[in-house]
Structure 1
Amino acid sequence: MEIKSQLVKDSRLVGYDNAVNFIPYYTSDVWSKDGKYFIFYSRRDGKISLNKYYPDQKRHVTVLDLDKWSSSFTSAKDPYAEFVVSGHARNTETVLIPFDNKICHVSIPEKSMRFSDAVFPDDTLLSGPFNVSDDGKYLTGVNFSKSASKLEKTSIFVYDIGNEKIVFLKEFDFFANHTQFFSDSGRILFCHEGPTEQIPDRLHLLEWKTGAHYPIYPQKHNDKGELIECVGHEMPAGHRVVAVRYPVSKMEDCGIILVNPKAKTGELLDQDDYLHVASDASGSIFIMDTCWWGNTRRKTENQSDVILFDNMTKKKEILASVCCSMKNQIYHVHPRLNKKGSIILCTAKESVASDNAKILFMKLR
């Protein structure tokens, strides 16, 4: 790991030694409501724990051991999968984790966990990434058949956290995923998941209270009608959506795009070898990581730059370079900003040969 910018006022690696420390998917807000700590997971000696870290005190605390997850259907294939997609209700300090077809509420203050009264259909599984609305009232994610050998259909759900009720469940005739609330909790951004180079309508919007849904960004085709633009890793950015135009696109100007859902248009903001992009609450600051395959300039495997883009000044800055891996989501860099855009968290693998990883904390000037 190497810090490369004077914009970074303070930086450190967070987590337990000789462990796999990781944070939920970058679309999940891991910060406490007062901003004093953030949550992360750690796997040590084969057991996973939920932890919190206090930056001002430079200390981490174990909240709860979660070894019971070894009995879930999904964990038998990937012990990290359900934790990576977990959601966080900041207003009640509750972590929401899928366990087969149930939602588990983990209370941080009480250091306890219990299953919700809401149960999804038998022979189904829950996944995500889970996402909690800004007001803390709702959780969204996806539900799908446990027996499906290939995910061709999924259902999007909305779960009332306080009343523990499923208030919306709709099946789509494609692999719908990556659900995220806008600041208006009645609208959800989601994607058509699958082979990126074969999907012409990745970005969708769902008005779940009416059931209406529609694509919001027509991807570019050539004169022969062939898809040349591949986009993904989208996220709400204020009232707009920021996404990556992947380097596997058959275009020279790949980078981050800002989409206007109402106008169904998008503009290229910056050109680079981007993989993920995240936004602050207002859509003023974006943070990205880079990749090394496809039509990229960067070709160093397992190495990613963390780059900040100021949407107000249209300037970019490489903040750091970290080791990563594509073999599991826990080793993806997944940079994310706090709501104010002043702190960045991302994953930094210890080395290419090591399985251990820590969380890179960077505070901006």
Structure 2
Amino acid sequence: MTTDTTRGQSVGDRSEARGEGRAYIGSFTSAGGRGVIAAAVDTETGALTELGATDALADPSYLALAPDGTVLYAVSEAEEGAVAAFDVAPGDAAPRLIGGPVPVRGSGPTHLALTAGHLVTANYGSGSVTFLPLHADGTPGPAAGVLQHEGGGPDAERQEGPHAHQVVPDPGGRWLLAVDLGTDSVRISAVAPDSGALAPHSETALRPGSGPRHLVLHPAGTHAYVLNELDTTLTVCRWDTGKGRLEPVGEVPVLPEGVEVASYASEIVVSPDGRYLWAAMRGHDSIAVLALDDSREKPALVTTVDCGGRWPRDLTLDPAGRRLYVSNEHSGDVTWFDIDPATGIPSRAGAFEAPAASCVVFG
């Protein structure tokens, strides 16, 4: 078996990987990526071992796994956006396309999530949110509806119109939060429990020009943290799940003072115990570490660490919350970090070659 601790594990004696965890890596096929890669995860070291890959879907930039772990969903981030489903039942094999591509009736979908028996996509290019029902076998049906956003922002180049970037279901199942970079807002929709249909409920305005990209809900369910791409800041919000209301209460920088390189925030995650936030910075090519106090409303920038590559598009915690995986799009790798539980600071532990990597999800 061939192993390189700095570049992860290559395909070799897969018997050593059986029985361990699974990870799935999305990548841009238009930039040399291999599509969707399945990998075994060594839960002791964090190392990834490739099991197989498929390029059956163009530009599968974001992935989501069904609750039972047998079906993997992907967006096709193309002008004619689509979603597809892959069979990833346990076994050492490449994901197998079983449904789609199904058009989302929008362009450039960048994110998807599951809620109320539906897939929901955030369509960046068209500035819309689409919901699609799922058949009994887990494959997606034709789009059941599209919520079209309206508006823009002060950045003439990036905010000429709406750009929905992420969709986040509230754990209670009643609401869907859609982050719109183009309109500097988070839009909240009510989710019909039976039909899965979305109905606009409210819109929370953020600071003009901030360019919100992604948000994460605190494990306690009381707060949300919105990462702003255009000015690399973090907006702290109170979240009222009963009323479906998001209220901004503060804003903090996620880069140290004096940074001159142009940087664009991409992804944010929160620790399972709610003590730390990690945010990825493209350009600065770093991971910001922020500590949360008991109020959950005053994140403090602890430090930044090198992301281990170039242009970190996505961050993902492993299921145990002990390691952080970074999808470095331009350097073409997934780098993993061990997290110091006392400080929240990640330390680089290894990397896996994945050209044009865009995200990682765990099975």
Partner of 2:170: 133
* Structure 2 CA distance for aligned equivalents of residues 257 and 33 of structure 1: 30
Partner of 1:104: 130
Answer yes or no: is the 8 Å Cα contact 1:105–1:115 preserved in 2: yes
Answer yes or no: is the 8 Å Cα contact 1:87–1:131 preserved in 2: yes
Count of residue correspondences: 282
Partner of 2:336: 308
Answer yes or no: is the 8 Å Cα contact 2:266–2:280 preserved in 1: yes
Q: Which runs of 5+ in 2 are unaligned?
A: 10-41, 153-160, 240-244
Q: Is 1:36 matched up with 2:84?
A: no
Question: Could you say if the C-alpha distance between residues 269 and 282 of structure 1 is closer, same or farther in structure 2, counting changes exceeding 3 Å?
Answer: farther
Answer yes or no: is the 8 Å Cα contact 1:85–1:129 preserved in 2: yes
Answer yes or no: is the 8 Å Cα contact 2:83–2:101 preserved in 1: yes
Q: Is 1:237 matched up with 2:270?
A: yes
> Shift in Å at residue 227 of structure 1?
6.0
Question: Could you say if the C-alpha distance between residues 67 and 306 of structure 1 is closer, same or farther in structure 2, counting changes exceeding 3 Å?
Answer: closer
Q: Is 1:190 matched up with 2:188?
A: no
Partner of 1:161: 191
Equivalent position to 2:291, from 239, 243, 260:
260
Matches within 5 A, 1:154-233: 154-162=184-192, 164-172=198-206, 173-174=208-209, 175-194=211-230, 199=231, 202-208=233-239, 209=245, 211-217=247-253, 219-222=255-258, 232-233=265-266
Instruction: Give the 3-state SS of the residue equivalent to 1:113 in structure 2.
Output: coil
Question: Could you say if the C-alpha distance between residues 10 and 289 of structure 1 is closer, same or farther in structure 2, counting changes exceeding 3 Å?
Answer: closer
* Structure 2 CA distance for aligned equivalents of residues 162 and 134 of structure 1: 14
Instruction: Give the 3-state SS of the residue equivalent to 2:257 in structure 1.
Output: coil
TM-score when normalising by structure 1:
0.63
Answer yes or no: is the 8 Å Cα contact 1:16–1:42 preserved in 2: no
* Structure 2 CA distance for aligned equivalents of residues 43 and 219 of structure 1: 29
* Structure 2 CA distance for aligned equivalents of residues 179 and 61 of structure 1: 30
> Shift in Å at residue 130 of structure 1?
1.8
Question: Could you say if the C-alpha distance between residues 233 and 281 of structure 1 is closer, same or farther in structure 2, counting changes exceeding 3 Å?
Answer: farther
* Structure 2 CA distance for aligned equivalents of residues 55 and 14 of structure 1: 14
Q: Is 1:288 matched up with 2:326?
A: yes
Q: Which runs of 5+ in 1 are unaligned?
A: 76-80, 145-150, 249-253, 292-301, 325-332, 344-365
* Structure 2 CA distance for aligned equivalents of residues 214 and 312 of structure 1: 27
Equivalent position to 1:87, from 93, 96, 113:
113
> Shift in Å at residue 139 of structure 1?
1.7
Question: Could you say if the C-alpha distance between residues 282 and 312 of structure 1 is closer, same or farther in structure 2, counting changes exceeding 3 Å?
Answer: same
Answer yes or no: is the 8 Å Cα contact 2:131–2:145 preserved in 1: yes
Per-residue CA distance 1:253-296 (angstroms, 9 max, x = gap): x73232124343223364344532322466421011347xxxxx
* Structure 2 CA distance for aligned equivalents of residues 113 and 183 of structure 1: 33
Amino acid at match of 1:109: H
Partner of 1:327: none
Instruction: Give the 3-state SS of the residue equivalent to 1:66 in structure 2.
Output: strand
Per-residue CA distance 1:121-140 (angstroms, 9 max, x = gap): 69974611222234443321
Answer yes or no: is the 8 Å Cα contact 1:104–1:113 preserved in 2: no
TM-score when normalising by structure 2:
0.63
* Structure 2 CA distance for aligned equivalents of residues 120 and 47 of structure 1: 17
Partner of 2:50: 11
Answer yes or no: is the 8 Å Cα contact 2:75–2:81 preserved in 1: no
CA RMSD in angstroms comes to 3.8
Instruction: Give the 3-state SS of the residue equivalent to 2:8 in structure 1.
Output: coil
> Shift in Å at residue 246 of structure 1?
5.0
Answer yes or no: is the 8 Å Cα contact 1:180–1:189 preserved in 2: yes
